[in-house]
Chains A and B, each alone.
Chain A
C-alpha cells in the first residue's frame, strides 16, 4: 500500500523493518530527520534496539563497528562533514569485514560551507571498501536498504554499504512510498547471522596488524568480495522483485536507451529530471536515452559497456569533482568504454545544491552532440 511520506521517514520506517539491534548516530543536516525518527521509534518501543547517542560521527561508526563485531545488526546514517569525520573508521570497518549499513543523505563538502546536495561526500569514500548504492527516488531508497543488508551480511561478501540518496531533494521531499509489513520484511531479510563474533566462549582476535608479508592478501580478499558483490546484488535485487514486484536485478538501468544515439549517464535523483527531459526530447524526435548507475561500488564497468554499445555519444553528469581530473563517474565510464570508439563527455553539474532543470539536460545533450564536454556546466561566469 502506498503511503505519502517524507524520504527520511521512509528510510526510518524501512530501517525499523530491518530490525537493527544497535543504532549509533550523530545528527547532521540533511540526515537529521532519519535519526530523530529512529530515536522516537526506540523511545516508543517500536524498535527493540539500543540507541547510542554518541558524541560524534567518528564515534557513531566506531560504536557500530564494535556492536557488529560483537554480533549485532547495526545501523547509522550521516552525510558530508560527518562522513568525512568517519573516514578512518570507514576504511577500518571494511577491512574488518563488518556488514554495516549506513544511509548517506548526500551533501556537498566545505569549504565553503554548504548544506545542500551533491554527491562529493560518498564519492570521496569510493575506495574505502564500502558498497555504494545510489537511489533515484524515495521508494528505491527504502528498497535498497533491505537489499544492502542482505548482500552485506552474505558470508561470501561481508562488506559494509552506503545507501545514498540526495540530501533535501529526496530526504525532505514527500512522495508515495510502499513499505513492506514486518512479516514481509522478515521473510526477505532473515535475522543477522554473524560469520564470527567476539565471544568469550570462542576467543578470537580481530583487527590485528599485518606485516608486508600479509597485508596485500587482505586487500585482495576485500577486492574479490567487492567483485562477488555484483552477483550478490543481482540475486538480492531479483529476489526483491519476485517478492515485492519492484525489480532491482540490474546494477544499471536503461531508460529509452534501446535505439538511442546519445546516452546520458547519471546517478541519484537527477535521473528523474533526466527522464522527463528525455521524454520531451523524444517528442522532438531526438534519440536520447539514460543509463542510470545504481551500483557505483562495485563499479559495473562491463554492464555499462554492454548497455551503451549501440550509442555514438555519451554525456556523463557528475555531481562531484575529482579536482584536477574531472568527475569521478565520467572518468570511470570513459575507462569502461575505452577502445569502443564511443565519444564520452563529462559534465560537472549541480554542485552545492545548484538546481538542475530539464532545459539544462537538453543543453548538455546539445553540447555533447557538438563535441563539447569535460567541463563544469552552468557556471556563473560573471563572478569568476
Chain B
C-alpha cells in the first residue's frame, strides 16, 4: 500500500462528509493518483457540498463546480483552453452517479464523442444521496430508496443498473475501468493509467454510502469488498472497448451482502427468496460475462 500511504494529502481533513463516507475516500485516493498537476471539475452533489462550503474548501488542487449536469462540458472547455495556452494540467471530472448516469449523460456523451483529453471519474454510491437517497440510474435492482420505496405492493427499485461503462466504451473511449474504494491500490493505479492515456477515459468507482445504504460507518470497506466478492460489482478494465482484466473472486452468495444493508431489508422481512434469487441471477450473469469465478484449482490472485 506504499502508493496509497505515500505523498502529501491534497484532499484535506476537515471536510463535512459523514463518518465512513466512501466517496470522501475516493476523493482522497484520487488525488494521490493525480498529484498536484490537476484541475478538478465537479458536479453538484454530495462531494461538492461536503467539500466546499464557502469560504472553506478541502481541495488542494484547482477545483471548479458549475452545475449538476455539465461537468463534462465544462471540462471540455477547460481542456480546450489549456491546449490553446500550451499548459499541461490534467483535467479530471469527479461526479456522482446521478450527475453521470442520469442528468449529465448528454454532456458526457458529447465530450467523449469529441475525444477531449479528460478523465471522468464517477463515484458510484448508487442513489442521489445528497438530496435524501432517491433512485438513480445506478441504483441496483431491489434497493429501496425514497423514490423507489419498498411498500406493501412494491419491492423497491425494479429497474436494472444502467451499464455506463459500456455506454462510454461504445463512444470509442480508449480506457474504461471500474474500481472500488475497498481496493485502493487498484483504484489509484487505474486513475494513473487513465490520466496518462490520451483521450476521454472513464472510471466508475464503487463508493458505498453508509447513510444511504444503511450500514455502520466502520463497515464501508467491508461493504465494498462484499459487493465484489458476491459478483454484484465487478472490477475490470476495458481498453479500446475490450475487457482486458476483471478481478477474480471465490464468490459468496449475494445474501451476505444484501442482508447487511437497510436498503435491502424488505427482502428479508418477510423473506422473499424469489427476489433474492433474481439478484443472485444478476451476480451470476456478471460472473459469466466477465469470467470472474475462480475455478477449483485456480489460486487466488
Contact = CB atoms under 8 A, between A and B. Distances in A.
B73 A206 contact: no
B259 interface: no
Interface of B: 36-39, 41-42, 48-49, 52-55, 57, 59-67, 69-70, 73-78, 80-85, 89, 106-107, 109-110, 113-114
A203 interface: yes
Contacts of B52: 205, 208-209
A139 to B, nearest CB: 30
Contacts of B75: 66
A70 B82 contact: yes
B86 to A, nearest CB: 11
Contacts of A68: 77, 81
Contacts of A92: 66-67
A55 B85 contact: no
Contacts of B107: 55, 58-59, 62
A92 B114 CA distance: 24
Interface residues of A, number: 43
A52 B80 contact: yes
28 contacts: A21-B84, A24-B77, A24-B80, A48-B84, A52-B77, A53-B114, A54-B76, A55-B107, A62-B70, A62-B76, A62-B107, A63-B74, A63-B77, A66-B66, A66-B81, A69-B77, A70-B39, A70-B82, A71-B81, A71-B85, A74-B77, A200-B36, A200-B39, A202-B62, A205-B62, A207-B65, A209-B53, A214-B54
Closest 8 CB pairs of A and B: A66-B77, A63-B77, A55-B110, A62-B73, A67-B77, A66-B74, A70-B81, A59-B73
B77 A22 contact: yes
A21 B80 CA distance: 9
Nearest to A96: B66
Contacts of A202: 62
Contacts of A208: 48, 52-55, 57, 65
Contacts of B60: 203
Nearest to A48: B84
Interface in A182-205: 198-200, 202-205
Contacts of B67: 62, 88-89, 92
Contacts of B64: 66, 69, 198, 205-207
Given A21-B81, A50-B80, A206-B64, 16 more contacts: A21-B84, A50-B84, A55-B109, A55-B110, A55-B113, A59-B76, A62-B73, A63-B76, A66-B64, A66-B74, A72-B85, A202-B62, A203-B61, A207-B64, A209-B49, A209-B53
